[in-house]
């Protein structure tokens, strides 16, 4: 009788362990959509060709403007080089944060090894950012250094999303402001310069009718305008990616108590798909 009792106890313990193990596995699986969203967000936010092109666009302008404007363009180029630090800090902050979220969601924990001193030095050089934007960057970095741990993943993930939402929204807003108010208008101005440059050449009074030269000029104009138009579309799609990142994270913040719940995975899936589509559109238009 005792042996039967011991066997029964062992059986129940075994069944309990199996049930617990299954629950753990299920809980991990429930992080799938959060993990995918964070991974896509890190890749999308880290797409830096848009901001790099903003810095390098001045050299393209030189060929379309008279010599008297070259000095002004050099000053503008130097100013944008100084702005590079701000652009890079914003993008890297979003990327690092999303990698932290992805690490907690997937169990693939990453060590956040950027020192506060290095970040402080970079923020001091980021003249483009105001004090509130710098505070948001610092807040996210502090959260990452404190929260990314392999212990209590579910608790830490909820806490990271809770504490990180507002500074993340601020950093995304700051990045989108540069894209919408700086990069896109600048490219539109470049398009107008190209248009005027070729029109001045082709429509100049007394310009002899040279069919071959005119055809080459029209072809060159169309090619240059097409390339700038593609850059504008790339910047617009990058802004769309940032918008999807902000919207998806806001949803996670508002439903953070449901994280690891199957229902959240189903409800959150459209946000993941919307981000995936936006990122695919960005890659397609930039090819």
pLDDT score of 84: 79
Q: Find out whether 83 and 101 touch, Cβ atoms under 8 Å.
A: no
pLDDT score of 125: 73
pLDDT score of 214: 80
pLDDT score of 7: 45
pLDDT score of 62: 86
Structure tokens at 179: 């894209």
Q: Find out whether 94 and 168 touch, Cβ atoms under 8 Å.
A: yes
| pTM (predicted TM-score) | 0.82
- Our separate counts of H helices and E strands in the chain read 10, 0
Q: How far apart are the first and last CA of the chain?
A: 75
pLDDT score of 14: 39
∠ CA(152), CA(156), CA(161), 5° rounding?
Answer: 155
CA–chain centroid gap for 13, Å, is 48
Structure tokens at 225: 């305008």
143: nearest Cα among 124, 158, 123, 154: 158
pLDDT score of 26: 41
Per-residue pLDDT of the chain (287 residues; tens, 9 = 90+): 444 444 445 434 433 443 333 344 344 446 889 999 999 999 999 998 888 888 778 888 888 888 888 888 888 888 888 777 888 899 999 999 999 899 888 877 666 656 555 777 777 777 778 889 999 998 988 888 776 554 457 788 899 999 999 999 999 999 999 999 989 999 999 999 999 988 887 777 666 667 777 888 889 999 999 999 999 999 999 999 999 999 999 999 999 999 888 888 899 999 999 999 999 999 999 88
Cα separation of 264 and 267, whole Å? 5
pLDDT score of 211: 76
pLDDT score of 17: 40
pLDDT score of 51: 82
């Amino acid at each position: 009788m005792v042996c039967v009792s011991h066997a029964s106890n062992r059986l129940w313990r075994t069944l309990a362990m199996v049930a617990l193990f299954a629950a753990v596995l299920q809980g991990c699986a429930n992080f799938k959509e959060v993990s995918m969203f964070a991974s896509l967000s890190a890749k999308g936010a880290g797409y830096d060709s848009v901001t790099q092109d903003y810095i390098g666009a001045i050299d393209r302008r030189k060929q379309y403007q008279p010599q008297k404007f070259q000095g002004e363009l050099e000053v503008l180029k130097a100013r944008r080089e100084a702005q590079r630090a701000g652009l890079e800090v914003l993008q890297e902050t979003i990327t690092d944060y999303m990698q932290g979220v992805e690490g907690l969601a997937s169990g693939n924990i990453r060590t956040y090894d950027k020192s506060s001193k290095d970040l402080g030095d970079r923020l001091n050089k980021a003249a483009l950012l105001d004090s509130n934007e710098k505070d948001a960057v610092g807040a996210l970095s502090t959260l990452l250094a404190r929260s990314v741990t392999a212990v209590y993943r579910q608790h830490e993930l909820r806490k990271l999303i809770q504490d990180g939402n507002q500074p993340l929204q601020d950093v995304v807003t700051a990045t989108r402001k540069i894209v919408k108010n700086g990069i896109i208008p600048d490219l539109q101005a470049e398009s107008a310069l190209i248009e005027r440059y070729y029109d001045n050449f082709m429509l100049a009074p007394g310009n002899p009718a040279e069919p071959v030269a005119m055809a080459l000029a029209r072809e060159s104009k169309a090619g240059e305008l097409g390339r700038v138009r593609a850059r504008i579309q790339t910047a617009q799609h990058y802004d769309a990616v940032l918008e999807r990142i902000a919207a998806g994270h806001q949803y996670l913040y508002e439903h953070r108590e449901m994280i690891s719940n199957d229902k959240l995975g189903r409800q959150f899936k459209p946000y993941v798909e919307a981000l995936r589509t936006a990122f695919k559109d960005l890659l397609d238009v930039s090819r």
